[in-house]
Amino acid sequence: MSESKTPPPAVPAATVIVLRDAKSGQKGIEALLLRRNAKTAFHGGAWVFPGGHIDPEDHNPDAPDDMLAAARQAAVRETQEEAGLSLLKADLLYFSHWTTPLVRPKRFSTWFFVVPACRDAVQVDGTEINAHAWMRPHEALAARQAGELELPPPTFVSLTKLSAFGSVEDALAYVRGREPDIFFPKLEKVEDGYCSLYRGDAGYESSNVDEPGRRHRLWMRKSGWHYERAQKYAS
């Protein structure tokens, strides 16, 4: 897709993926998802992780340029405001960073963290957030495929990655042992929808979805979404 000559700036933001082990008798993990009010301008009606803007007061006066620290503070604050959960900044593990594509009219530069659930009961504010659910990643993805709920691309990709883990500790160990993924998507029109190219994809620099080689992309077709990340691609 052609990019705007003067894209809007990306507003700093933070998001938290709160995880807990599935209930007794079930396998895997559950992630906390919040449903945004349908009247909200950005992703209204979508199911998302807790999060929001990084405010000026989130910055440490002694280190005002430390954006990761500011993101941690914002993540804790927003989770308290939106879901009533009291998290500790020290427990947040840096998972990924997403920058909204240049072609979008509203853009964010968002730090994603993962954290184990605390003992607090979830309490949504009833205005910006009007519902919550603990969902196993594969269940949320299946519900999105069935048209039962809306997931923004970063939420979809994050849930896809987390669906591989059988316990919260397994997921946290994975995050601790790797560098965070950095996503700066390039959105390309394809038949029946769009393809979002990510760094590491053979077609990322050329914006050519047919470029042979490694794949790191999200197919967003009317027939369904599919996150693809592989060394080689077999057609």
Q: How far apart are CA 77 and CA 54, in angstroms?
A: 9
pLDDT confidence of residue 46: 94
Per-domain boundaries in the chain: 10-184, 185-235
Q: What percentage of residues in the chain have a pLDDT greater than 70? A: 93
Does residue 2 register a pLDDT over 90?
no
pLDDT confidence of residue 126: 80
Average pLDDT rounded to a whole number, residues 35-60: 87
Q: Which residues contact 178 (CB under 8 A, 6 or more apart)?
A: none
Q: What percentage of residues in the chain have a pLDDT greater than 90? A: 85
Question: What rounded mean pLDDT belongs to the chain?
Answer: 92
Q: For domain 10-184, give the CATH number.
A: 3.90.79.10
**153 vs 4 pLDDT, higher one:** 153
Q: How far apart are CA 78 and CA 204, in angstroms?
A: 33
Residue 2 identity: S
pLDDT confidence of residue 181: 96
Average pLDDT rounded to a whole number, residues 112-138: 94
Collapsing DSSP to helix, strand or coil, 6 comes out as: coil
pLDDT tens, residue by residue, 67-106:
999 999 999 999 999 999 999 999 999 999 999 999 888 9
Give the confidence band of 25 by pLDDT, cuts at 50, 70, 90.
confident
pLDDT tens, residue by residue, 169-188:
999 999 999 999 999 999 99
Q: How far apart are CA 46 and CA 158, in angstroms?
A: 15
pLDDT tens, residue by residue, 176-226:
999 999 999 999 999 999 999 999 999 999 999 999 999 999 999 999 999
Strands 93-99 and 181-183: parallel
pLDDT confidence of residue 234: 41
Does residue 131 register a pLDDT over 60?
yes
Distance, first Cα to last Cα, the chain: 23
pLDDT confidence of residue 232: 52
Q: What residues form DSSP beta bridges with 215?
A: 230
